[in-house]
Amino acid sequence: MRVVLAHGDAPRRRQLGGILVRVGHVVAEAETADEAVAVCRRVPTDVAVVDSDLCRSTGDDALLHAIKGDAEAFRTAVVLLERETLDLDAAVTALHRGVQDFLVEPVSDGELVTRIAAAARTKVLQEELVAQSRRLETLIFEDPLTGLANRRFILTQLGSLVSGARRHGRPLSIAIIDVDLFKSVNDRHGHHVGDQVLVAVTGALRSHMRAEDHLGRLGGEEFLSVLPDTDHDAATAAAERMREEVAATSLVHEGAELGVTVSLGVATWEAAEPAELLLRRADDALYAAKDGGRDRVACARASVPRRT
């Protein structure tokens, strides 16, 4: 375990450090609050044992803020060395600011070792909980094959962006993308090759996405691209670029080159139009692209007659 020991009294610091080294910990000593923060930032630290006087000397517990507010050091468990005069309000305030535990002086060697070990175990459990939460979020929101947003998440994003477009009067367009003749790929070459095709198409589509654009997999061989701040002409041009990029993509299977194409249906949001109707118009345009010979872009008709 890596421990930072921050104490302004050199003899006491060496004494505590010697105990921790004796049980196998790697100890870095710090005399000031700034030194303690610098060590925690520089080297991944499991536990920082900090004398409470150093916190008070920095004013308003700036040392705790510096550690817990740092992108790397915040993972460090902080144990405060306190005096017998520690009161309830001060303890609760310190806990709210990120302190893991307290050691009230005078502290025995055994208590020092066991409480630091407990703080380190709690830190590990917290990190495992965070990692598990991230894995759960991935399962909920991400398509496992392509790494794109899954159907539920991309449709949720679309709903939010339609609300934003309505509120701010900004343009918004979408494109539904379908891999041409995908069933025949699966039937002739197997689903593992079909998966490779979907991954390759994902990469091609992503290469023409802006940072603010969204791309998700609706299911099977169908994708949805959501293009904020994009009017009809810009959306049509973006869809053409995506189509061309996919058409330029090829896979080699058993010595033969597999060409891949997509058809796209583009629709631009109209005032007061719900997300469901926008999707339906894009889907109708997609079918028109398929009926027109595939490997092409078709644009949706207006949902309501336009005034001249």
The residue among 63 and 234 whose pLDDT is bigger is 234
pTM above 0.75, yes or no: no
**Structure confidence at residue 5 (pLDDT):** 83
> Does the structure show a pLDDT above 90 at 84?
no
User: For 121-139, how does the pLDDT look when each residue is reduced to its tens digit (9 = 90+)?
Assistant: 887 887 787 777 777 776 7
> Does the structure show a pLDDT above 90 at 160?
yes
> Does the structure show a pLDDT above 50 at 7?
yes
**Structure confidence at residue 105 (pLDDT):** 82
**Structure confidence at residue 60 (pLDDT):** 47
> Does the structure show a pLDDT above 60 at 57?
no
Residues 224-242, mean pLDDT to the nearest whole number: 96
Residues 278-285, mean pLDDT to the nearest whole number: 96
Residues 134-146, mean pLDDT to the nearest whole number: 81
Q: Is 221 a catalytic residue?
A: yes
In the chain, the percentage of residues whose pLDDT exceeds 70 is 93
**Structure confidence at residue 305 (pLDDT):** 47
The three state secondary structure string of the chain is CEEEEECCCHHHHHHHHHHHHHCCCEEEEECCHHHHHHHHHHCCCCEEEEEHHHHHHHCCCHHHHHHHCCCCHHHCEEEEEECCCCCHHHHHHHHHCCEEEEEECCCCHHHHHHHHHHHHHHHHHHHHHHHHHHHHHHHHHECCCCCCECHHHHHHHHHHHHHHHHHHCCCEEEEEEEECCHHHHHHHHCHHHHHHHHHHHHHHHHCCCCCCCEEEEEECCEEEEEEECCCHHHHHHHHHHHHHHHHCCEEEECCEEEECCEEEEEEECCCCCCHHHHHHHHHHHHHHHHHCCCCCEEECCCCCCCCC
Q: Given the residues 82, 221, 244, 273, select the one marked as catalytic.
A: 221
**Structure confidence at residue 296 (pLDDT):** 97
Residue 72: pLDDT band (50, 70, 90) is: low
